[in-house]
Amino acid sequence: MTGLTDLQMILIGGGSILIIFIIIYNRIRASRLRKAEIARKQAEEAAGTASAPEANGGDGEEKVETFDAVVAQMAESDKAAAEESLVSGMREFPVDDIIECVITIIPEAEVPAEKILPLIQSWLYAGKMPVRFVGLTDDEGGQKNWHAIRPGQSYSQFRACVLLANRQTALTDIDFSSLIAQLNHLTADINAEMEVPDMEKVIEQANQLHGFVADHDAKVWFSIRPNGQPWSKEQVEQALEKYQYQRRPDGTWVKNDPDESAECELFLLGTFSKKDSGTVLSLILFLDVPCIPREKDPFGQMVACAQTLCKELDGTLVDEKGGILTEESVAAMTEQLEQYYQVMQSASLHAGSLRALRLYRLQVA
């Protein structure tokens, strides 16, 4: 439980952490009103429309919503794409009592997998939180260990592991009570006893973890706007294909790590256009900070790729407030992100680690 102790100590000293985090957020999250105003002005300038309120009316509102929707869509797309692979491999995760509530089930005699699997195969969630089962069995070397339950094996003990929190919410007393009620039926079916942890302590741990995850949910995005007329969609797509961006079914593009497999994503790129228009008013680059390993320097690579696209498309790199992103501002953001990474590391939540991905990528039911 050393990692949990580190997390609790950081939560106790949360004042200093929040100061660091507020500094980061002052740069990476503009308010909706400021983003809306910048988006409106970009759209009006690119489209050559009048700036008077009477001339824009509802059309201006429509453009703003589209710009905000691109950023929101990219965040949701990033989480959804990763969740499928995480859920499919969830049964193989090692037991992690820092982020999971672990409930041990001890049958009177070994239970074959063929008996337990039909009872648990439909259990993907406990209330709103992901749940999985592992069993204690012999390794090839004859050592006892916890593994995903597989046909042909017999198990002397089982563990039900439910995630305590994610970036949306924490395990609740209702979720916990629902899980225990279901497990009572299971233990009756296999003639087993169950070690139930204290609910009050479990919920307190879940709330602490969720508080930390929510306070350190960092996302960075900036955009490239054309120096002249808006780009055509064909022009943008050709440039992205040239520099090996991969298009997703939802219309966003992903940049993979050139030194790793094609599955290793660094950041996303989306396009902002007027509704039903064949032109592109800006490109948006998006980084989900806690989900990409620090060692890959995703922010540095995102800036470098953005600069390349600026040259290719004759554009200017701007921050979320519409200001030109200078070398000095990039250096400041890099330093702030480095502080963020250090805080995460001290809490045993390394960016891009399996633990971080489970907390920041898995969704509630």
pLDDT band of 95, cuts 50, 70, 90? confident
Given a cut of 80, whether residue 11 has pLDDT beyond it is no
Does 363 map to a domain?
A: no
Given a cut of 90, whether residue 14 has pLDDT beyond it is no
Given a cut of 50, whether residue 243 has pLDDT beyond it is yes
Write out the residue range of the structural domain in which residue 246 sits: 2-88+217-348
Distance CA 135, CA 116 (A): 10
Given a cut of 80, whether residue 261 has pLDDT beyond it is no
Does residue 158 sit in the same domain as residue 280?
A: no
Does residue 148 sit in the same domain as residue 257?
A: no
pLDDT band of 321, cuts 50, 70, 90? confident
Nearest residue to 248 via CA among 225, 271, 276: 271
* Angle, helix 113-120 to helix 173-190, in steps of 10 degrees: 150
Report the residue count for the chain.
365
Q: pLDDT (tens digit, 9 = 90+) per residue, 189-239?
A: 999 999 999 999 999 999 999 999 999 999 999 999 999 999 999 999 999
Does residue 7 sit in the same domain as residue 108?
A: no
Q: What are phi and psi of 153, to 5 degrees?
A: -110, 155
Does residue 207 sit in the same domain as residue 243?
A: no
Res 22: pLDDT:
38
Does 336 map to a domain?
A: yes
Given a cut of 50, whether residue 269 has pLDDT beyond it is yes
Q: What are phi and psi of 245, to 5 degrees?
A: -80, 145
Does residue 141 sit in the same domain as residue 64?
A: no
CATH of the domain at 98: 3.30.1400
Does residue 223 sit in the same domain as residue 138?
A: no
Does residue 222 sit in the same domain as residue 330?
A: yes
Q: pLDDT (tens digit, 9 = 90+) per residue, 151-180?
A: 999 999 999 999 999 988 999 999 999 999
Res 251: pLDDT:
83
Does 356 map to a domain?
A: no
Does residue 83 sit in the same domain as residue 10?
A: yes
Does residue 28 sit in the same domain as residue 64?
A: yes
Mean pLDDT across 295-307: 95
Q: How high is the mean pLDDT of the chain?
A: 79
Given a cut of 50, whether residue 349 has pLDDT beyond it is yes
Final residue of a domain: which of 213, 242, 274? 213
Does 194 map to a domain?
A: yes
For residue 343, give every residue at least 6 positions away whose Cβ sits within 8 Å of its Cβ, in sequence order, or none.
Answer: 10, 17, 20, 21, 216
Res 104: pLDDT:
96
Given a cut of 60, whether residue 9 has pLDDT beyond it is no
Percent of the chain residues topping a pLDDT of 70: 71
User: How many domains does the chain contain in total?
Assistant: 2
Cross-strand partners of 154? 112
pLDDT band of 31, cuts 50, 70, 90? very low
The letter for the amino acid at 72 is: A
Does 144 map to a domain?
A: yes
Q: Is the dihedral of CA 42, 46, 51, 54 positive or negative?
A: negative
Does 327 map to a domain?
A: yes
pLDDT band of 145, cuts 50, 70, 90? confident
Does residue 247 sit in the same domain as residue 341?
A: yes
Res 310: pLDDT:
96
Does residue 241 sit in the same domain as residue 195?
A: no
Pick the range with the lowest mean pLDDT from 20-24, 238-242, 282-286. Answer: 20-24
Res 80: pLDDT:
54
Res 69: pLDDT:
67
Given a cut of 90, whether residue 13 has pLDDT beyond it is no
Res 272: pLDDT:
87
* Higher-scoring residue by pLDDT: 342, 4: 342
pTM metric for this prediction: 0.75
Does 44 map to a domain?
A: yes
Burial 104-140, CB ≥16 within 10 A → b, else e: ebebeeebebeebeeebeebeebbbbbbbbbbbbeee
For residue 61, give every residue at least 6 positions away whose Cβ sits within 8 Å of its Cβ, in sequence order, or none.
Answer: none
Final residue of a domain: which of 150, 182, 213? 213
CATH of the domain at 17: 3.30.1400.10
Cross-strand partners of 280? 231
* Higher-scoring residue by pLDDT: 23, 262: 262
Given a cut of 80, whether residue 296 has pLDDT beyond it is yes
Does residue 9 sit in the same domain as residue 48?
A: yes
Does 361 map to a domain?
A: no
